[in-house]
Amino acid sequence: VPPEKPVNITCWSKNMKDLTCKWAPGTEGETFLHTNYTLKYKRRWYGQDNTCQEYHTAGTYSCHIPKDLALFTPYEIWVEASNRLGVAVSDVVMLDILDVVTTDPPSDVHVSRVGDLEDQLSVRWSSPPALKDFLFQAKYQIQYRVEDSSEWKVGGHGRGTARGGRGCGCCHLLPLQVVDDVGNQTSCRLAGLRPGTVYFVQVRCNPFSIYGSKKAGIWSDWSNPTAASTPRSERVAGGCDPKGGEQNTTLRRELKQFFGWVKKHAYGCSNLGIKLYDQWRVWLQKSHKTRNQVGKEP
């Protein structure tokens, strides 16, 4: 049968000089005949038809236009599908390059401790290098997860203005709180974390308002995960200097739990080091999870 009309054309640019587009082959997919796909484009009012040359750059149904695109000019883009029995043409998509800009993920992502604060981590990264020569604003978003979980949590996002590769300054970030960035370097602080826990952190970027464009950009992919651990609580690991009051009562209770666990689970152990204490904390967390799950049952 003749080919079906290609659908779902989407395009993006990573440096405002190129354009990559993807499409789908139609509701029924490809026919049994070999089908050729050709992406064409032109300036909206006075341009001549141009044909994309670099196919399969972002998947089976995709093409990349590497250069010679104009800014502040709307383009018409469409895809033609052809086989021995006919030709089908997609609907025309109109876009401005400035409205479909995305970036590579933020680079140089570093995660580190904030002194001895047990519940916080500092996250720093660099602004997108591909856009260093352009005036733009950027929104950043962070997601993080604990080492033994596959569930990511969104930490929040910031926004700022950058030119010439300068990033967006410092901010203090609580989970799910929106903040503003200012300055040369981008950074955020994650708070409310668990002590003595390894966290994986990722960052992504959304450039917008490039040269005054009114449309939001396209979110980049997430950066590669970067890991860091929060400091461990020193309530038990520290010295046993009794100070009285509530803190001393909590210390005695936890020490009693700890040595009770050692007697039950650590047969033949003579070295009560920090590693053994860590094993106890893991056992304690699991027992808390079990009790919580049982408590939720009808």
Please write the tens of the pLDDT for every residue from 42-69: 988 887 899 999 999 888 899 999 988 8
Task: Report the distance separating Cα 281 and Cα 256, nearest Å.
Answer: 13
Tokens 């100070």 locate to 243
**Residue 171 predicted with pLDDT over 50:** no
Binned at pLDDT 50, 70 and 90, residue 181 comes out as: very low
Per-residue confidence band for 162, with pLDDT thresholds at 50, 70 and 90: very low
pLDDT, position 266: 61
Residue pair 254/240 in contact (Cβ under 8 Å)? The answer is no
**Confidence check: pLDDT of 75 > 90:** yes
pLDDT at 138: 79
In the chain, pLDDT over 70 holds for what percent of residues? 63
Q: What is the per-residue pLDDT for 240?
A: 44
> Which whole number is the average pLDDT over 195-222?
83
pLDDT of 10 strictly over 90: yes
Q: Which domains does the chain have, with CATH numbers?
A: 7-97 (2.60.40.10), 103-158+169-230 (2.60.40.10)
- Average pLDDT of span 140-148: 84
Confidence bin at 112 (pLDDT 50/70/90)? very high
Average pLDDT score over residue span 249-270: 64
pLDDT band at 99 (very low <50, low <70, confident <90, very high): confident
For the ranges 69-83, 161-175, 259-273, the maximum mean pLDDT occurs at 69-83
Query: Mean pLDDT over residues 240-269, rounded?
Result: 61
Q: Rounded to whole angstroms, what are the CA distances from 171 to 111, 180, 188? A: 14, 7, 5
Q: What is the pLDDT of residue 98?
A: 86
Neighbours of 185 (CB within 10 A): 15
Question: Which of the two residues, 245 and 57, has the higher pLDDT score?
Answer: 57
Query: Which residues, including other chains, have CB under 8 Å from residue 233's CB and lie 6 or more apart?
Result: 118, 195, 196
How far apart CA 256 and CA 271 sit, in angstroms, is 17
Lowest mean pLDDT among 36-40, 150-154, 270-274, 280-284: 270-274
Mean pLDDT across the chain, nearest whole number? 75
Check residue 296 and give its pLDDT: 54
| Residue 141 dihedral angles phi and psi, to the nearest 5° | -135, 140
On whether the CB atoms of residues 63 and 19 are closer than 8 A, the answer is no
Q: Which distant-in-sequence residues (6+ apart) come within 8 Å of 89 by Cβ? A: 5, 78, 79, 80, 81
pLDDT in tens, 14-27: 888 899 999 998 76
